[in-house]
Structure 1
Amino acid sequence: MTLRGAELSLVDSAVAHGAVDHALLERMARGDEMALGDFFDRWGGVVENIATALRLSGSEADQTADEVFRQIWFAASALAVRPERLGARLGAVVRDCCAAVVARRKIPRRLAAVPASAGDNAPAGDLERAELEASLVASDFSSILADAGLSKAISYLNSLTPFRFTGIYRFDGLDIVNVLLFDREGDPAPEGTRSRVADTYCLWIQETLSVVRMSNSMSDPRARDHAKREDVRSYCGGPIIDDAGNLFGTICHFDYVAHPISNAAMPTLAAVAPLLAKAVSA
């Protein structure tokens, strides 16, 4: 099965999104078991977005992303030298794995001589549990939103994370505007504060239309030259799409310190985003 033009464009944008980090690929080639987690942090949202564009269900999209990263790990293990070869193969790996899942074909584990613990950043069981957790959170979020309003719902969402801040932001040309910001330490956050999109991590969401996570800006190559690298050390955010299919803004968690980010964080943001789209446009 071949992918249609729209999906190929998504794959191409994924490959083009930031330079492929050869240092990270070298770590993978050496069998560094933490490297796949770092790679997933960078590419997970993009791959899930591609899988979603292929009209897979949420569970199938998660399984596709999981399989893609396993195959990338296997490929890296086979390319212990010249890691740029792995970067060149990224698009092909994504295409093959997504197409195989759509066609309901079993994807062969061609390079199975990899340590059992390698590539287990997000096993299928964990992804299924994360999706179930996200569904339950979305249900609770919807009830709180209806009964107590947007501020209480955002406070609840924040309570499920290690992050200090959870905010809703609206894109306005080259700027991004604060619609609502919850700070668990209670500092007041005036609405309407503007920033340049290019100076925020929300830029990555605008570019990819997918959920993005970053555990530590100081070790993430995407943030190497970013204006907020020193200040905002961890981030997890996703797009808010309005009823017309346009990108309204983002829902995101962030903090001044690094945080590990659970597998449930990304599907949870994806699950509550449609509820937020209705709330902010009401």
Structure 2
Amino acid sequence: MTKNTKKGTFMIKKWNRRQRLVLWLVLSLIFLAAVCIGGMFCGDAARETDFARKNIAPCLKYPFGTDWLGRDMFTRTVKGLSISIIIGISAAAFSAVMAFILGVLSATMGKAVDTVITWFIDLVMGIPHMLLLILICVACGRGLKGVILGVALTHWTSLARLIRGEVLQLKEQQYIKMARKLGKSNFYIAMKHMVPHLFPQFLVGLILLFPHAILHESSITFLGFGLSNEQPAIGIILSEAMKYLITGKWWLALFPGLMLVLTVVCFYTVGEGIRKLVDPASAHE
């Protein structure tokens, strides 16, 4: 086999890996978009009760079965996942922006500011995660607003540390030092040289915050500290299903749980895929 043939084979294999990565990204995005769009149109159906069809096992008409009130578990699951995705996106976006701002300020505004922000990061990370999340949710009045604020205010610390470390490394680069010697302001250096370099890490960190936000929203709702019982959230569905598992109603928890796991895996796949696409260091993976 000639050298050119070997090189061509290597490029084909590399391109095939990239194609598979893009395919998984597209499939994951289609699934998440379908859940969100479906949740917009099945709100009333998720709350509709019909005692004539209660406790029906999974079948062609009701793929996820029905519960003790005759509610369609498929529509309830789709609506619950759409609520979780909306909460995850809102909380993760707020948390990521907060982490980006504090991380940049910590690394660029001097030792005093860095000490205060680092101490605050250590303080938040030192408190048990679920305990702090529950306290914030209860203090903010629970409900949708309380859950979003609780998740957002407890998930920014790791990304803030990452951004701070990246900025500290950038400050030692020769082109940054040269820009300072040329009299450029800190704002100009941050916008022109630092933000473009930090954007890939920020984007990947933002996307990877989604699965954490969704899982923690479901967890506190499951424990009774999150969304109200009137909303068909995944945490509420799983919490209610626990009472009926011993009676053989296995489908009440199985399918919502599997869909929650699938949603989290899709977000993780999207985040890892984008990381490999935008990070040159991962080109060999």
More strand by share: 1
Relative contact order (C-alpha < 8 Å, sep 6+): which is higher?
A: 2
Question: TM-score scaled to structure 2, two decimals?
Answer: 0.23
Question: TM-score scaled to structure 1, two decimals?
Answer: 0.23
Structure ID, larger Rg:
2
